[in-house]
Structure formats: structure tokens, C-alpha cells
Chain A
Amino acid sequence: MKQNIVIVGGGIAGLEAAKRLLRLGYRPIIVEKQDRLGGHVAQWHCLFPDMTPAGEVVSGLIRDTAEANIFLETEISFMNRLRDGYNIMLSNGISVIARAVLFTTGFSLFDAAKKEEYGYGVYDRVITNGDLEHWFNTGSDKRVDGGEIRAMGFVHCVGSRDEKARNSQCSKVCCITAVKQAIEMKKKFPDAAVYCFYMDLRMFGKKFEDFYISAQRDYGIRFIRGRVSEVSEDIDGRVVVKAEDTLAGKPVKVKLDLLVLMSGMVCGRDTESLASMLRLPVDTDGFFKSRNNVSAVVQSPLEGIFYAGACTGPKTIPETLAEADTAALEIVSFLYRS
């Protein structure tokens, strides 16, 4: 019997799982809604903690998955469960009967414009972490190139740990991303003062703390503990940032030439619609709910449906890749069993 495996999402999780399945002798089908592979990572510049070029990671994965069946600019029109598999109708008119389906639909970046007090889309010199990576890659963004940068800042936890923004979860990777981007900016503008406004610095990963120490000691990044309360624009177009310096217990303000908002990972836009097609449960944070958040993260409660990567919650790249490998192995053993 033909044992089709469909992977929904051609980001790094989907590609890594496809690579692993190809090596095990399967030929998975990748369905990607965009016109390119690599997802969010393909738009990033360098990766912590060793400044690995993101393009290298993505191009390696694309090279290793050339044998897979890849449908770009294709979405899932509908899906329904059969007795021993799933019937999937794609938006390009093709329908597939699959024994196993792997969701690698990832996350969405929080829309920073929702935090109106930070002025994204209102003030000229307020950008997001995604915009900054885009600028690292292309070198053109009039909000960054608009004038001399003497002082700049990063706002941590934008749309994360924020119940009003309906995201109470920590987005996990923004702390280290802000430190990475702060160092990169300090290298580009050595005379500029670089501030980080944080609540906690969650440096959980390998070499993350070293990165933070180096940002302090070698680059003189100024860390201010306190969440930015408001941003306004002055007559020269600079932004005035107000926060509480909670270590001093006093209000603090500073004028900046550029402000970067660290938008967090929130559940993917399609999570709810995909989940409802198969009546899959969604967790309290809006991400897909695993069968067990400790011992069966890559399994869904349904037989034959698997998850990998940030579709079940914010994750780092190594975590995502490891999960994709686990999911590939789970899928293969599931196919053997049935």
C-alpha cells in the first residue's frame, strides 16, 4: 500500500523532517503556502550564539530535500479523517490520501502595531526585530537609514507576557535575539549608545549567558530593567522613550534615533482553521495541543497526526530541528505499526 506522508509547512521544521524521511526511504509531500521555502528563518540574517548565517542553514535543508514532492503557493482547502488515513484537498486542485500528516505550520510574529503605545507604524523611527533583520540582509530601510544613529534602544517582550495582547506566554527567543541584535548594531555604530529595556533576561540556552556578559562587558550595551510604558516623537523626529528604572525605583526617559520592538512568537494564523478541520485541540496559548506537553510533544491526540517546531509553542532553531527529527522517527514507527 502506498504510504503518503504530507508535511504542512515548508519552514525549517518541515524541511528537516522531510530530509530525515527521505533518508529513511520515504518520499514526503511538502505543502507550503508561500512561494518559497525556509519560512521565518529564511528572512533572518545571523543566528545566535555563533552568528551562523541563516541562509546557510536554510539552503542546506533545501538542498537535502530536493527529492521531496514540494507544492509551493499551496494551502490546505480541507481535510477529513478516513478509516486509516486522511483525505487532503489542496488549493491547487490535487487531492492526497495520506497515512500520516505532519503539521509544521510554525508561528506568526506578533503584530507590533497592536501595542499602540509603542508607535509602530505611527512614528518613523520605530521598527521591529523582523524589520531589523531585513535591514541586515538588504541594507535598505528608510527608517534605519534616515539619519545618524547616536542612540538606539530595544524593547523586550512586545506582545509577549502580555495578557491584554492575549499572549501570556514568554516568546523565549527574543531576549537573546535582542542581545544579538544590540551587539550587531553596536558593531555597525560603535559610537552609539545602545539600550535594552527588559523585565527579565531569560538566557536559558547554550552560550546565551556568555553572549549577555559580552554585550555588557565588551560592547557596553546599557540594560535598563523596566518595561517601556510609552513612546512619543519629538520635533526632530527622534523618539522619546519612557520607562521605570525599577532598579532605582525612579522613572527614566531617553531620546533615541531608532527603537526596535522585539515582537514575540504567537500562534500561527492558520492554527485555528487547520485544527477545526480535524477537531484537533488547541492549547490555552493558541498553539496546537500536543498529546502530552512533556512526554509526547510531537504527537497529537489523533492517530497519524504529528507536530514539529513552533506550531506547538515558541522554540529555538535547534529545538525545532530536534523535534522534526523526532517526529520523522515517530511517523516511521507509526507506519511500521499500522
Chain B
Amino acid sequence: MDNIFGFKLSPSSTIDMDKVDFTLFDKLHELEPDAWKCMACGSCSATCPAGTFSGMSLRKVLHCLQRGKQKEAVNMLRCCMLCGKCSIVCPRGINTRHLILSICKLYKED
């Protein structure tokens, strides 16, 4: 139906933590206990050669997974080239390449 009023309602952008399913994220923790250590400093994203062009950001990927936005996370990861620069800069010493591969294993639909 056409919108005869000239305006429409946007869906709420609020993240409802009560509706987030943590089953997969908890499984990820079993595989990669260090995944929870991220303190969102952004070093990985700043150094990421793919990030500049594609919006790939490991910080955002981890954050999305914790907020139930798995699709967004998986989409971002498609642009990762597994170059491993992020693992060099991570101050918390997270093995980011290994973490990315584990996320792919757990979350990838195809």
C-alpha cells in the first residue's frame, strides 16, 4: 500500500539485551577464551588494511556478536584477508587470526 500520509515509522534501533541469544557466543568462549578479553581499544581496526575500504573492524565484529548482530558480524568478516596485522597490535595479546577462523567456523551459514 502506498504511504498516503507522507511519513513512516522507523523500527527502534534499541539493542534489547534480553533478546540476545548468547548460546553461540558462549561456545566461542570455550574455543577462544581470549575473545572476551577485548577492551575495544580499536587498534585492530586502525591497522586493518581491509578496514579502510570495506568497513571491516574486528572490534565491531566482537561487539556485534555480544549484541546479537551475527549477520552484521559475518558480513564484515567476509572482507578479512587474514593478514594478521591485528594480532601484532592487539595489546591484550589476543590471537586474532585464530579467533577470526573460530568465529567463521561457528557462525558462517554457508
Contacts and interface: CB of A to CB of B under 8 A. Distances in A.
B31 to A, nearest CB: 13
A217 B37 contact: yes
Interface residues of A, number: 20
Contacts of A225: 40
Interface stretch (A30-38, A93-101, A244-252): A244-252
Contacts of B40: 225, 247
Interface string B21-39: 0100010010001101111
B17 A254 contact: yes
B76 to A, nearest CB: 13
B3 interface: no
Contact of A247 (B17, B29, B37, B63): B63
B15 A251 contact: yes
Contacts of A220: 26, 29, 36
Contacts of B39: 201, 216
Interface in A210-231: 213, 216-218, 220, 222, 225
A245 B60 CA distance: 12
A245 B37 contact: no
B95 interface: no
Interface string A247-287: 11011111100000000000000000000000000000000
A218 B35 CA distance: 11
Q: Is the interface of A mostly helix, strand, loop or mixed?
A: strand
B28 to A, nearest CB: 11
A220 B22 CA distance: 11
A222 B15 contact: no
A10 to B, nearest CB: 40
A338 to B, nearest CB: 53
A23 B17 CA distance: 57
A117 B18 CA distance: 21
Contact of A252 (B15, B33, B36): B15
Interface in B5-28: 13-18, 22, 26
Given A248-B15, A250-B14, A253-B14, A222 B66 contact: yes
A245 B20 CA distance: 14
Best-buried of A151, A201, A222 by chain B (most CB within 10 Å): A222
B63 A250 contact: no
A220 B30 CA distance: 11
B37 A213 contact: yes
Contacts of B37: 213, 216-217
Contacts of B17: 193, 195, 252-254
A248 B63 contact: yes
A115 to B, nearest CB: 22
B11 to A, nearest CB: 12
10 contacts: A213-B37, A213-B92, A216-B36, A217-B37, A218-B33, A220-B29, A247-B59, A250-B13, A250-B15, A251-B13
Interface of A: 151, 193, 195, 201, 213, 216-218, 220, 222, 225, 245, 247-248, 250-255
- In the A-B complex, the 8 residue pairs with the smallest Cβ-Cβ separation, listed nearest first, are A254-B17, A252-B15, A251-B14, A216-B36, A217-B37, A217-B36, A250-B13, A255-B18
